[in-house]
Chain A
Amino acid sequence: MTDLRESLLPEGWELVVGLEVHVELATTTKLFCGCANRFSSDPNTNVCPVCVGLPGSLPVMNAKAVDFAMRLGRALGCDVKPSVMARKNYFYPDMAKDYQTTQYDQPTSTDGELVLGDGVAIGIERAHIEEDAGKTTHVGGGGRINDAEYSLVDYNRAGVPLVEVVSRPDIRTIDHAKAYVSELRGILLALEVSDAKMEEGSMRVDANVSIRPVGSDELRTRCEIKNINSIRSLGRAIEYEALRHVDLYDSGEAPRQETRHWDEAGGRSTAGRSKEDADDYRYFQEPDLVPLRPSVEDVAAIDAAMPVLPKARRARLSEVSTMSADVIATIVERSQDGLALAAIDAGADADKVLTRIQNDLAVDDWSLVSVESLAGLISMETAGELTATQTKQVLARLVEEGGDPEKIAAQLGFEAMAVNELEGLIDQLIADNPDEWTRFAGGDDGDRKKMQGFFTGQIMKATRGQADGRAVAEILGRRASD
């Protein structure tokens, strides 16, 4: 599908976007201690000396977090290499140790790519492991950070394992930015390493936005936009920021390199801390931890266990059907491709299966729809035994209660008319309504349309709606040309 957003920027400017995505790993415990990695609304109940940074505490790496990080790295086509942890030193109350244990110059994964649905590849610079910070709530002053009376800190989230995925600035359109996030989410779900929900904060997206003249390959000053809470916001934030840069350049100025905060309600980004406060993070290797050296066997085992990723799943569907990339992408995103392929395997018409699933299976829970029932239903529709409307109704029943489509159709009284029975009925009607038939067969377009409606209506009345509209039209047409 063409990107309608290509006209976002005025003539001559090109969008340059890189995305940094923080993913919360779905481990049982935190990165460096055995506290539960689970949301709790009761503050400071999932904490211990380690994640609260008490004097004398020491971190011990969670094996599962390392495993998940390596799987993600391989799924993104990265080199998974020996890595070390590092300290990023800065003061902030939600940082229990006033340094974050992260990775700096030797991350777990580097040099991969994420291929979007339309085949465009976005480079992945690196993916590294790090710990999350706690949560600070600002009290008073409407909850806005700058007017607060005081702040409260909860360390339940401190120490939760994260992987930060950093793309190269290869994204050129807003749709690609959104597709990148969706695709990454699909991969995370397929790997089962995260539930990747932006609205819940288990996947956080920061956008690095800059622009440049079309045709140049320079990288101009970029701004990092934070506090983007949905894919829709991502699009709005990138648009706002890019146009802001255009305005600045147009008035002879330039954007400052800074971190900006996205205000969804106000529809704009605002400047964050001034450059004067910019911290020197004084990175050095974390002396309380030791290097991670995955073996060749470790990586091979991960590759061997790699699940089928969204890209491959889309490819499988496009091999067996002629449906558009959009339809296929939607079905894979909803994880309904397995059902589709199985139904197709069982003999149902591929395009019809995908159409039905896309249009009529946009539900949260379709677990009661079995492969056999779907395949059977589609076959009934293809054979003309059920009309489109009837098919939808049977499917809705299957979603709700499961069962057998033939039985349901019978329960609902849906017997599609046999074609010759229908022909017989139509011939009778034609005989009974000669004037109307003359107007249909020989009239102008307007008459034809009106009379088609008349005859169809009569048929429907006679059959109590069980006639297939398309079949009726087809028969009428045939009769008229005889």
Chain B
Amino acid sequence: MSAIDIAAAVRTGNRSAVDVLDEHLNRIDERESEIHAFNLVLAEEARVQAEAIDAKVAAGEDPGPLAGVPVALKDNMCTRGIPTTCSSKILEGWIPPYDATVVTRLADAGAVFVGKTNLDEFAMGSSTENSAFGATHNPLDITRVPGGSSGGSAASVAAGFAALGIGSDTGGSVRQPAAFCGVVGMKPTYGAVSRYGLIAFASSLDQIGPFAADVADAATLFDVIAGHDPLDTTSIVDFIPSATASLDLGVEGLRVGVVQELSGGVGSVQGISPDVIARTRVAVEALAAAGAVVDEVSVPSAPLGLSAYYLVAPAEASSNLARYDGVRFGLRVDADTTGEMNTATRTAGFGEEVKRRIMLGTYALSAGYYDAFYGKALKVRTMMLDDFASVYQKFDVLITPTAPTTAFPLGERSADPMTMYVNDVCTIPSNLVGHPGISVPFGVGDDGLPVGVQVLAPATHDAQTFRVGAVLEAAAKEEVTS
């Protein structure tokens, strides 16, 4: 059942929320041991929530638009009274004394949290192999990675553990795992969804985003979580989410641009697999067939995104992760002085990828190097904003593959960080400029694993991504049935 259908059934009393929950918990029982999507399954707490929903329905009260819908929450979002670990030893067992805004909104909407999902430690990674608590496996092929960093939430939806998932996307961490797992994943405009309670990785890039089995569900979830939050200074003040309202608009007359540099076209970055490029072309043709005006377009600074990102993100992360020092919460490894205690704690508590990025970021900000690295990367951002602004004069949305390849085998890319980093080449530019993007499954690659196609739109035009995504989804379905 889709999330929309579940909510409708529960609201009308046709199904109980407890019943829905049990169905999902059964699936978790069956396959979680081989998938490991969760750091923590919240069976007891979810039951309490589900019972409360059913009681509301019985009392004739409005239980909310997501009544009884099981939701999987990435374990880097604070849940009061419930451990929140970021899949790191340094926060193992930490219990936040407050809820993230997104958690409050979902609870108010009637959602039922089935669990906190696994992620790459502190959201740093593209495969969920960097978790301190073991990797998550792709439900479609458990020898493969689910993508990352929100691999657990993507896998939860793909495996039917939850009807909806919540992840965070800093360089592609919702969209890329969505592509690898064959589900819908979307990154909102920067500032559309509150970051209050999202444990920060890179503050100017992080956004919370929805996972779902289809575009309509994802749009419904988006409309619940998006909107201004006074607790987040970087939250857009007058953002009115309207994704569901745009779903049936079609693409007649819409100007669609295929980004050459990210789609195997002229000046393209290396490493985009031919089958992925092929599927993207089929997707573009489907849009043309549906009435869109399609053309190739150049975004010259797009290839610089990877480098700029791997300077900006670690720099901000190195500062955001300084607070993990053993003083106020989390792991403490004792020592003779506070300074030594900080060092011992962080050395024992952080995994290698996190340390690598903290080191990189600290270096990029340090005296003598700021201008050459971090400072320059901020200028690349300006260039990208300008490029996109001029492109969007002539186009309404842009298309690229979501990821360069399909899901790769576990362990294949662990030795060389750069081979892992290139996973994000298609998704990173939209993080740097703060634009929305959605990944919609569009068939499979040569290996039979899902391929995701990405739709990008200008800032605050989130609804457009769902609009186009819905058409792609319909086309993909038709392809299968025909």
Contacts and interface: CB of A to CB of B under 8 A. Distances in A.
A325 to B, nearest CB: 47
Interface in B113-128: none
A288 B199 contact: no
A55 B200 contact: yes
Contact of A61 (B231, B233, B370): B233
B342 A91 contact: yes
B333 to A, nearest CB: 15
Nearest to A60: B233
Given A91-B322, A97-B323, A99-B319, A56 B365 contact: no
A58 B315 contact: no
Given A89-B322, A91-B322, A99-B319, A56 B234 contact: no
A53 B338 contact: no
B319 A284 contact: yes
A332 B188 CA distance: 58
Closest 10 CB pairs of A and B: A98-B322, A287-B203, A282-B365, A287-B204, A55-B199, A56-B197, A56-B78, A56-B199, A280-B367, A53-B323
Given A49-B97, A282-B362, A58 B230 contact: no
A42 B98 CA distance: 22
A52 interface: yes
A52 B339 CA distance: 19
Interface residues of B, number: 44
A58 B327 contact: no
Given A56-B77, A56-B196, A56-B197, 13 more contacts: A49-B97, A54-B97, A87-B319, A91-B325, A93-B325, A98-B322, A98-B323, A98-B325, A99-B319, A284-B316, A284-B370, A288-B234, A290-B234
Most-contacted residue by chain A among B96, B318, B323 (CB, 10 A): B323
B366 interface: yes
B30 interface: no
A57 B196 contact: yes
A60 B235 CA distance: 11
Contacts of B77: 56
A284 B100 contact: no
Contacts of B233: 58-61, 288-290
Given A93-B327, A284-B365, A60 B338 contact: no
Nearest to B322: A98
Nearest to A136: B338
Contacts of B94: 55
Contacts of B342: 91
A151 interface: yes
B158 interface: no
B374 interface: yes
Contacts of B106: none
A55 B78 contact: yes
A60 B78 CA distance: 19
A89 B367 CA distance: 12
Nearest to B84: A55
Contacts of A290: 233-234
A124 to B, nearest CB: 27
A95 to B, nearest CB: 9
Contacts of B461: none
Given A91-B339, A96-B328, A151-B338, A280 B366 contact: yes
Contacts of A97: 322-323
A104 B318 CA distance: 19
B115 to A, nearest CB: 18
A425 B301 CA distance: 107
A280 B318 CA distance: 13
A56 B200 contact: yes
Contacts, number: 98
A89 B234 contact: no
A153 B327 contact: yes
B96 A282 contact: no
Interface class of chain B by DSSP: loop
A151 B337 CA distance: 10
Contacts of B20: none
Contacts of A289: 233-234
B374 A284 contact: yes
A61 B204 CA distance: 17
Interface string B241-274: 0000000000000000000000000000000000
Interface of B: 77-78, 84, 86, 91, 94, 96-98, 100, 195-200, 202-204, 230-234, 315-316, 318-319, 322-325, 327-329, 338-339, 342, 362, 365-367, 370, 374
Interface in A29-75: 49, 52-61
B323 A288 contact: no
A49 to B, nearest CB: 5
A282 B319 contact: yes
Contact of B98 (A54, A93, A96): A54
Q: Which residue, A60, A280, A284, A289, has most C-beta atoms of chain B within 10 A?
A: A284
Q: Output the residue of A61, A98, A153 with the most chain B CB within 10 A.
A: A98
A254 B194 CA distance: 54
B96 A58 contact: no
Contacts of B319: 87, 89, 99, 282, 284
A55 B202 CA distance: 13
19 contacts: A49-B96, A49-B97, A49-B98, A54-B96, A55-B200, A55-B329, A56-B100, A87-B319, A89-B319, A93-B327, A96-B323, A96-B328, A97-B323, A98-B323, A151-B338, A280-B367, A284-B316, A284-B370, A287-B202
Contact of A55 (B96, B231, B318, B370): B96
A54 to B, nearest CB: 7
A290 to B, nearest CB: 6
A134 to B, nearest CB: 10
Given A49-B97, A93-B338, A282-B362, A60 B328 contact: no
Contacts of A96: 323, 328
Nearest to A92: B338
A54 B199 CA distance: 9
A358 B98 CA distance: 57
Interface string A77-121: 000000000010101010011110000000000000000000000
A52 B329 CA distance: 10
Given A60-B233, A61-B233, A284-B374, A54 B329 contact: yes
B422 to A, nearest CB: 25
A246 B378 CA distance: 47
A140 to B, nearest CB: 13
B197 A60 contact: no
Which of A52, A60, A151, A289 is the most central at the interface, judged by chain B CB atoms within 10 Å of its CB?
A60
B397 to A, nearest CB: 27
Contacts of A98: 322-323, 325
Contacts of B197: 56-57
Contacts of B325: 91, 93, 98
A288 B203 contact: yes
Contacts of A89: 318-319, 322, 365
B231 A60 contact: yes
Contacts of A58: 195-196, 231-234
Contacts of B97: 49, 54
Contacts of A151: 338
A289 B100 CA distance: 18
Interface in A275-291: 280, 282, 284, 287-290
B101 to A, nearest CB: 10
A56 B327 contact: no
B229 to A, nearest CB: 9
Contacts of B327: 93, 153
Contacts of A52: 328
Pick from B98, B204, B327 the residue with the most CB of A within 10 Å.
B327
Contacts of A288: 200, 203, 233-234
B72 to A, nearest CB: 18
Q: Which of A53, A153, A290 has the most chain B CB atoms closer than 10 A to its own CB?
A: A53
A53 B328 CA distance: 9
Nearest to A98: B322
Contacts of A61: 233
A31 to B, nearest CB: 12
